[in-house]
Amino acid sequence: MRKMTFLILLFISCALQAQSILQQAARLEKEGHLVQAQKLLTQHANQSGMDEKEQSQLLFAAERLRRLPQDYGLTREKLVSALEKSIQGFAASEIDAWEKSGRLDFIWIEGVKYYHNSSRSNLFFRYPDLKARRLNSDDDSEFEHTILAYCREVKAAGEKALDRLVLPMRFRATMHMQVPADVVPAGETVRCWLPYPRAYPFQTDMEVIEASPAVAWISQPLSDSRSLYLEQKAHAGQPLDFSVQFEYTSWAVSNEIDAGKIEPYDETSGLFRQYTAEKAPHILFTPELRQLAREITQGEANPYLKARKIYDWVSENMVYSYMIEYSLIDNLSMYAWKNRYGDCGVQGLLFITLCRIAGVPARWQGCWMFFPGEKTIHDWAEFHVEPYGWLPVDPYEGGWAVHEITSLSQADKQFLRDFYFGNMPAYRMVANADFSAPLYPKKIHFRSDRVDFQRGEIEWKGGNLYFDERSFSWKVEAMAAND
């Protein structure tokens, strides 16, 4: 009994000590003393007797501080130079006003202010009036009309076929993960995980066509993050290349939902319990998000219509912004609540969190999106209603229709906004059904992206290889009918 009491007290002591160290490090970070904060965290993490969980927490906090400057690489001088080339009549004093409004992201590093690498692009999202002053802006009208025509084709095919899965396409994807020569010592084994299509009714017939080195493991078809695992030894003076080509069939999804036919949930089911629950650290039912969910869904009992109200709120009130790496942020849904901006995954997580608070099962989905004229890593969501099952929803696309489209009529923009609530194009590859899902075989070191899995992961026994230590590329091509 005394031994048990001692162990409990030791555990509590370690936890309190770790929290105290994290708080001290946070203060140092806020003051811009990143190196000092890293040393503090590493020193205490390596003390004997430290609990493994607390040690891991401290070590990743130190690793986060090592990564952080890579996302904040713009001095004021570089930002001014970029904005002078992008905004007609730009004055450097405008930067001070944007900072004061809290919509220009920066950090202090050892006495110098550094701005987020995507600050120039984000200003045009966050301050729509700036678009009238933008120099050399792109003309997206052709893309906007093309995607509108395709989405109308999907809905027409759904009405004609009386089936939710329509217009199948066969795609061939090629990936390369490369590590420069001598980053890993010769003779050491390098382990690599690459994204691979997860099994869904709308995503079928996956097949690895070729791989170098050979694929050593394919995770299960219903894995929450489906991956291919490869490994090879490093050789002196030679770069490492992991290459895979695979094919799969993707179907567009067209749903016709009758809100009057929505049935109540079985709230004792495993599905309901899992997908209406919190999942730390990014799906937490904070007081602020509970209040927001109540305000949005007040007076609505139908879960389908609750989800639509949440989708509309996110589309109307969130603006797109390029993000720092997700792993650098403590809670992405609260980040969205606080800032009212974020990228596709941040908007998706806000939608998921609000749905779960409102009693609507919702989950993560994503990996790549590659409609002709567009190629990007991408995340969105699904929500579940009876008797229809899981329905796709893309809050980012809803916001794009509200805030960004310039060449379409209001009716056409409304059509696209409606389309992305319950329907989905075929031009996607889905590897993920959850965030922060484990990889197999288990990764030893911290992941480069602890939230998402879109750009692969790679490590050796000496550590993880972060984004600045390797490169990842991908492309997807539609195959001809006779291929």
Concatenated DSSP letters of 206-272: EEEEEEES---EE--TT-SB-EEEEEEE--TT--EEEEEEEEEEEEEE-----GGG-B---TTSHHH
Going by CATH, does the domain composed of 152-252+438-478 fall within 2.60.40.2250?
Answer: yes
Burial of 392 from C-beta contacts in 10 A (0-12 / 13-18 / 19+): buried
Architecture of domain 259-422: Roll (3.10)
- Residue 435 vs residues 132, 162, 226, 336: alpha-carbon distances, Å: 38, 33, 12, 16
| Predicted pLDDT of residue 16 | 64
Position 2 confidence tier, pLDDT thresholds 50, 70, 90: low
- Token duo for residue 389: 């099952």
What would the mean pLDDT of 4-31 be, rounded to a whole number? 74
Proportion of the chain above pLDDT 90, given as a percent = 92
| Predicted pLDDT of residue 9 | 42
| Predicted pLDDT of residue 257 | 97
- Token duo for residue 292: 């927001």
120 vs 161, higher pLDDT: 120
Place of tokens 């999804």: 253
pLDDT at 127 over 90: yes
pLDDT at 13 over 70: no
| Predicted pLDDT of residue 470 | 98
Helix, strand, or coil (residue 377): strand
What pLDDT, in 10s, does the model give residues 324-367? Answer: 999 999 999 999 999 999 999 999 999 999 999 999 999 999 99
| Predicted pLDDT of residue 481 | 61
pLDDT at 55 over 60: yes
pLDDT at 1 over 80: no
Position 7 confidence tier, pLDDT thresholds 50, 70, 90: very low
- Mean residue pLDDT of the chain comes to 95
Backbone phi, psi, residue 239, to 5°: -70, 155
